[in-house]
Amino acid sequence: MNIDWITDFEIAKQVSIKERKPILLQFEREKCSGCRKLDALTYTDENVIKELSEWFVPLKLQILEDHKIRSHFSAVWTPSFYVTDRNQKIYYKTEGYYNSEDFRMILRLALAGYLLPRGKYKETIELMKKGLELFPENLLAPKLMLTKGEAGYLMTWDNKTFRASLKELTDKYPDSLEARMWPWMD
């Protein structure tokens, strides 16, 4: 089982429309060691292959060849990742090599970035819950917990529940950046 990477934005756009999925664009270049490591280690993980293929239209472009698209995304680094729709609107961006676990967390955050503006709060909450169940000690876990809390708040506008979710976050991950973001948590 492999990831079926598309290498043309127009084709990826058509697949995105047909399958009603966002595009995960990876910019790469020939001598990019992070890109090679992704191919050798991360993209061979069965769970990465399954989740990436299920949730996104996978698109790889050469950063030094696709000037117009690179310019649109202001891409300067490889590997770099952009979650976009068929109109090239960016919903999530990150750069660098990720091991399988970290990449699976990134995939969840990237998909949440696409789902939240569409009002898909329940789907986002479930996605974050599953990531937290799988990898509770991952450095990105506080970000997943925060995203889960934000989705819950957007779904209900219940301030008490949101504050409770932030309390849980600060209790579980007190040294995280996410725990330090909220002025009323002192």
Confidence of residue 1 (pLDDT cuts 50, 70, 90): confident
pLDDT tens-place string over residues 5-14: 999 999 999 9
Q: What is residue 93's three-state secondary structure? A: strand
Per-residue model confidence (pLDDT) at position 184? 64
- Residue 82 burial (CB count, 10 A): 26
Specify the domain boundaries for CATH 3.40.30.10 within the chain: 1-103
pLDDT tens-place string over residues 106-155: 999 999 999 999 999 999 999 999 999 999 999 999 999 999 999 999 99
**Alpha-carbon span 136 to 133, nearest angstrom:** 6
- Residue 1 burial (CB count, 10 A): 8
**3.40.50.300, 3.40.30.10, 3.20.20.370, 3.65.10.10: CATH of 1-103:** 3.40.30.10
- Residue 77 burial (CB count, 10 A): 12
**Alpha-carbon span 129 to 54, nearest angstrom:** 18
Per-residue model confidence (pLDDT) at position 66? 79
pTM above 0.85, yes or no: yes
Percent of the chain with pLDDT over 90: 93
Q: Is the pLDDT of residue 99 over 70?
A: yes
**Alpha-carbon span 123 to 2, nearest angstrom:** 26
Alpha helices by DSSP H, the chain: 9-19, 33-40, 46-55, 67-73, 100-115, 121-134, 141-156, 159-172
